[in-house]
Amino acid sequence: MGRLIVVSNRVALPRRGEPTAGGLAVALKDVLKSNGGLWFGWSGETTKTPTSGEIKALRYQGIDYATIDLNETDYKGFYAGYSNNILWPLFHFRLGLLEYDRRQSEAYRRVNRDFAKALLPLLGPDDVIWIHDYQLIPLGAELRALGARQKIGFFLHIPFPPWAVFSALPGAEVLMRDLLAYDLVGVQTHRDLGGMVNCFQDGLGLSPDEDGGIRTSIAGTERRTQLSAHAIGIDTRGFANTARKAINGPDAVRMKASMGERKLIVGAERLDYTKGLPHRMRGFGALLDNFPQHLNQVTYLQVAARSRNEVASYRDLRRELDQLAGRINGDHGLFDWTPMRYVARAVARDTLAGFYRMADVGLVTPLRDGMNLVAKEYVAAQDPENPGVLVLSSFAGAAEAMDGALLVNPLDPEAMAEQLDRALTMPLAERKSRWSSMMQGLEEQTAERWAEDFLAELNEQAAAREPSLAA
C-alpha cells in the first residue's frame, strides 16, 4: 500500500501564529496522517531568481510537506495571471472579467510542468496522487508525460460551467483533454457534473459510458476517466465545539456588549467578486428601506478578507465595497447606531465561529460558488436551543443539499430584503426544524467522509484499469 500524495497550489503549511486551518485543510491532514502521506505544492513564497524547482521539505505531526517557490515571473503569469485572472472568472461564469494573455497561458503550462518534474522523484510506484483545483489542471497530464503510472485523481473545488461558457477560453479543448489523464475527476455538485459532461460532449465529442466514465485511447493505451460529484463538507463536530467555546471568549463578549439588544446578521468571506458582496450590501440597504421596523434593531457585520490584491478586478471591488458600506451607514446610521460593520481584513477562525453562533442570520450570497463552506460553518456553529437562520444564494453549491436555508437570487435586492425580514422574524419552532434538518446533513457529509469517498472511488477506478494496462 503506497502513500497518499496531496497536491494543491496552496499548501496548508504548519506556521505559527496563523489562524486555525479551515475544514478542507483539517480533513486532508487527517487523511494524510492515517495513510502516511505527503503534501506537495507552492510554498507561498516568491523569489527573484528563476524557479529552480528546489524542494523545501518539512515533517510535522506525521505528515511530510514538500514545497517549491515560484519566481516573480511565474507568480505573475501562472498564479495572478492565468489562474486568477483567466480561469477563475471563466469557471465562475464571468467572461467579462477574463483578460486572456497567451504568455500567461504558457506560464501556466510551464509551472505545471515544473511541479511535475519536482514531484516525480518523490513518488513511489504504489502511491496514490490527489491533485486539487484549477491552478493544477494539466499536472496529471504532465506527470503522465514523464512516465507516471500511479493512480491519479483530480478534484475541482470551484464550479464547472457548460461548454457555451467554457469555450470562450482560447485553448479550451486542450484543458479539457488534460482532464483525461486522470483516473477520476471529481466536482462538488450534480450541477457542476452536468457542466463538465457538457464540455466533454460539446467540446471534445466524448460522452460518458453508462457508469459515468469517459473512455479514450491515447497513444495506443486505453484509458478511462471516471467523472463524479462529491460534495465537500466540514469538520462539523469540531466547528460546533469551537463555536461553543468561542461564544464565551473575549471577542464574542465584546461583540455582544457592543450590540445591545439588536439582532445580528453576519457574512464572512474572501474579498472576491464571486461572493456577491456588493449585492449583499444592496440587499441589506433594501431591508432598511423597505422594512423600517428593523431600523436601529439590527446590525450587519461583513468580514471580507483581502485577497489576490495583484489582480485589478479585486482592487476595483475593494473600492466599490468601501463606497457602498459608507453609503449605507451614511443613509441609515444614527449617532449611536452603525447599521453595517465592514471589516476588510481576515478575522481569526475561532472568533468568527463565536460571531456565527451569536448571529440571528447568516447571509451567504455568492453569485457562483463550487460549494461554500461558510454556509456549512454557520449552521454547525448554531445553538441547538436557539438557532439562527441561513439566507443562502441558490447559486452556491451548498444550496443543492441545504434544504433548511432561505434561498435567494443575489441579483434581486428586494427579494433579499424580504428573506432577511423573514429570517429576522422567524418563530423559534421553524428555526429549529430548518436548522436540525441541515445539521443532520452536515453530520453525515463531513470533510473526512468526502475525502474517504473520493479516495475509495479513485482506488476502484485505478484497480479496474490494471488489466487493460497489463494487456
In the complex, the smallest distance separating the C-beta of residue 10 from ligand G6P, rounded to whole angstroms, is 4
- Does residue number 157 form part of the binding site for ligand G6P (CB under 6 A)? yes
Name every residue whose Cβ is closer than 8 Å to that of residue 122 and which is 6 or more positions away in sequence.
5, 38, 40, 55, 66
| Cβ closest to ligand G6P, residue 157 vs residue 223 | 157
| Cβ closest to ligand G6P, residue 84 vs residue 225 | 84
Cell of residue 99, nine digits: 483578460
In the complex, the smallest distance separating the C-beta of residue 469 from ligand G6P, rounded to whole angstroms, is 31
DSSP state, residue 404: T
Which residue type does 94 have?
Answer: R
Burial class of residue 413 (count of CB atoms within 10 Å of its CB; 0-12, 13-18, 19+): buried
- Does residue number 192 form part of the binding site for ligand G6P (CB under 6 A)? no
In the complex, the smallest distance separating the C-beta of residue 84 from ligand G6P, rounded to whole angstroms, is 6
| Cβ closest to ligand G6P, residue 10 vs residue 318 | 10
Q: Which of 157, 230, 294, 332 is catalytic?
A: 157
Site for ligand G6P in 4-33 (CB under 6 A): 10
Place of cell 494524510: 32
| Cβ closest to ligand G6P, residue 382 vs residue 393 | 393
Site size for ligand G6P (CB under 6 A): 7
- Does residue number 369 form part of the binding site for ligand G6P (CB under 6 A)? no
| Cβ closest to ligand G6P, residue 10 vs residue 113 | 10
- Does residue number 277 form part of the binding site for ligand G6P (CB under 6 A)? no
Name every residue whose Cβ is closer than 8 Å to that of residue 286 and which is 6 or more positions away in sequence.
413, 414, 416, 417
Place of cell 468580514: 303
Exactly one of 47, 73, 307, 436 binds ligand G6P (CB under 6 A); which one? 307
In the complex, the smallest distance separating the C-beta of residue 307 from ligand G6P, rounded to whole angstroms, is 6
Backbone angles phi, psi at 31, to 5 degrees: -65, -40
| Cβ closest to ligand G6P, residue 366 vs residue 441 | 366
Task: List helix spans (H) across 344-427.
Answer: 349-358, 373-380, 413-424
Question: Which residues in 11-55 belong to E strands, given as ranges?
Answer: 37-47
| Cβ closest to ligand G6P, residue 136 vs residue 298 | 136
- Does residue number 177 form part of the binding site for ligand G6P (CB under 6 A)? no
Cα Dmax for the chain: 79
In the complex, the smallest distance separating the C-beta of residue 368 from ligand G6P, rounded to whole angstroms, is 12
- Does residue number 308 form part of the binding site for ligand G6P (CB under 6 A)? yes
Verify whether residue 235 is a known catalytic residue: no
| Cβ closest to ligand G6P, residue 272 vs residue 448 | 272
Cα atoms in the Cβ-side hemisphere of radius 13 Å centred on 395: 18
In the complex, the smallest distance separating the C-beta of residue 272 from ligand G6P, rounded to whole angstroms, is 8
Verify whether residue 157 is a known catalytic residue: yes
Question: Which residues in 316-443 belong to E strands, given as ranges?
Answer: 340-343, 361-364, 389-393, 406-408
- Does residue number 133 form part of the binding site for ligand G6P (CB under 6 A)? yes
Name every residue whose Cβ is closer than 8 Å to that of residue 5 and which is 6 or more positions away in sequence.
37, 38, 39, 40, 119, 122, 123, 127, 128, 129, 130
- Does residue number 46 form part of the binding site for ligand G6P (CB under 6 A)? no
Whole-number CA gyration radius for the chain: 23
Q: Which of 74, 178, 360, 369 is catalytic?
A: 369
Site for ligand G6P in 71-90 (CB under 6 A): 84
Cell of residue 87, nine digits: 480561469
In the complex, the smallest distance separating the C-beta of residue 158 from ligand G6P, rounded to whole angstroms, is 5
In the complex, the smallest distance separating the C-beta of residue 131 from ligand G6P, rounded to whole angstroms, is 11
| Cross-strand bridge partners of residue 389 | 361
Residue from 94, 109, 102, 132 nearest 8 by CA: 132
Residue from 124, 90, 125 nearest 105 by CA: 90
| Cross-strand bridge partners of residue 187 | 229
Q: Which residue numbers are catalytic?
A: 157, 369
Q: Would you tell me which residues interact with ligand G6P (CB under 6 A)?
A: 10, 84, 133, 157-158, 307-308
